[in-house]
Structure 1
């Protein structure tokens, strides 16, 4: 397992704190313009939930280096676990590696392990008649730029084509391609953050309510959170699209025992306020 010494994550783990916040940063003009649809948000949620963790925030930003630098400078100041997808290639629109170095105030250097892996990838391609294994050629020198990382970075293995991502200061940087990024997310969660798996016991209960306006149930939701500290109540109205009946999905989430008590009380309160748990006939 890769060492976590001298990282914010290690300090948090040593202190026995609660599970760190997890965030996603997706980088790319093509996402913001709609030319590509984001594939990382839903997948990361699923990967985290399978390990008893959860996503607290997501941010989508452009390929502009100043925007990325500003975003990462703020992000590096936290102890959050952060997955950054996109912009680590070697074309002019790939500026994430440069922005990460600027945000940290360090230089970019060719990582020796990344150079070895990229060389192996070039040799594999040459064996198939695609390009040359000679790393001095202009094409392969350009490919080596994908192994130029901020000083102090560690590699993230890429099971798809060997060209690695990088990890530094609790931030994991990986390509925008889902076929590469998602195995890298899995590897990172299971290698770097296994100590946080299933540390929190959380459940979510919900039910549908008909014939009750949100304004009438809101005071009960507020009181519920006071009675059961740590339990979060939620209300998701539905106007009855596609011929259905207008309704509200009410629910609670948090620690299992308290959530179970809170949802029973909430169902009873809904009925006492005139709401129905069944749609009108």
Structure 2
């Protein structure tokens, strides 16, 4: 049975994209988060960008509050971690609480989990017993908020789930990343940006951001559609204290705006360093 993507997005209003990473092991430093850079990469490959990221430990009240905001935001949200069936996995229950919905065993998830358990028993030369306590307990991994749809898991067939634009995947990267790609390609392809994207910037020495702010504001006013950015650094190993000042957007808009940026910098007593280009 082929899972039905949820939701069907409306192309006229592209939403923001968020990431929620759940787990004490991330906040304690026991494990380093790998999801943030990967999700940025997956979105960028489709002409999209991450708008917000949030980390939360294994505290049900905090998880529920974070998920309430996610459901209310209207954004596309990917939540990683906590969807297993051990005592420290709270995400499924918190999602239901945030939505004020009951939990229910999803029929497709039940079939997939049972199929997985049958395959494991066969590989181990054992007889599959659906009523064995361990096998009954594993079905909890398919208990989702009522009305959820499943996200297929190509690694071990234990699915994640979606409710609206909020999508829940395991914390394991080998599972989570292909599942996130499936959601993007199945549900949100109409928002992929096919046009070219360009970012041009210059390293500026001897300037303060407050001094450069009027120039930045004027550029965004004169060139609608581009974004001006300022990235200060105080201890760069090569350039030391500096500001990376640039513009980004469609190439046809970026190039003239960047020329104007360089011209505007001539009015300040600053030294310019390398120019950087990213597309």
TM-score by length of 1: 0.90
Name the SS of the counterpart of 1:60 in structure 2: strand
Which of the pair is proportionally richer in strand?
2
1:228 is displaced (CA, Å) by 2.0
Aligned twin of 1:180: 175
Aligned twin of 1:94: 89
Deviates more, 1:236-245 or 1:191-200: 236-245
1:243 is displaced (CA, Å) by 6.0
Residues 77 and 216 of structure 1: CA distance in aligned 2, closer, same or farther (over 3 Å) = closer
Residues 3 and 138 of structure 1: CA distance in aligned 2, closer, same or farther (over 3 Å) = closer
1:123 is displaced (CA, Å) by 1.5
The count of corresponding residues between Structure 1 and Structure 2 is 273
Residues 102 and 131 of structure 1: CA distance in aligned 2, closer, same or farther (over 3 Å) = farther
Deviations 1:176-207 (A, max 9, x none): 00010001011111111111111676432112
More relative contact order, 1 or 2 (CA 8 Å, 6+ apart):
2
1:2–1:192 contact (8 Å) kept in structure 2: no
Aligned twin of 2:277: none
Deviations 1:27-49 (A, max 9, x none): 11111111111111111111111
Aligned twin of 1:40: 35
* Unpaired runs of at least 5, structure 2: 275-279
TM-score by length of 2: 0.90
C-alpha distance in structure 1 between counterparts of 2:25 and 2:254, whole Å? 41
Deviations 1:140-186 (A, max 9, x none): 11111000011101110000000000011111100000010001011
C-alpha distance in structure 2 between counterparts of 1:74 and 1:240, whole Å? 36
Residue correspondence of structure 1 range 22-101 to structure 2 within 5 A: 22-101=17-96
Aligned twin of 1:109: 104
1:237–1:248 contact (8 Å) kept in structure 2: yes
2:202–2:273 contact (8 Å) kept in structure 1: no
2:162 corresponds to 1:167: yes
What is the Cα-based RMSD across aligned positions, in Å? 2.1
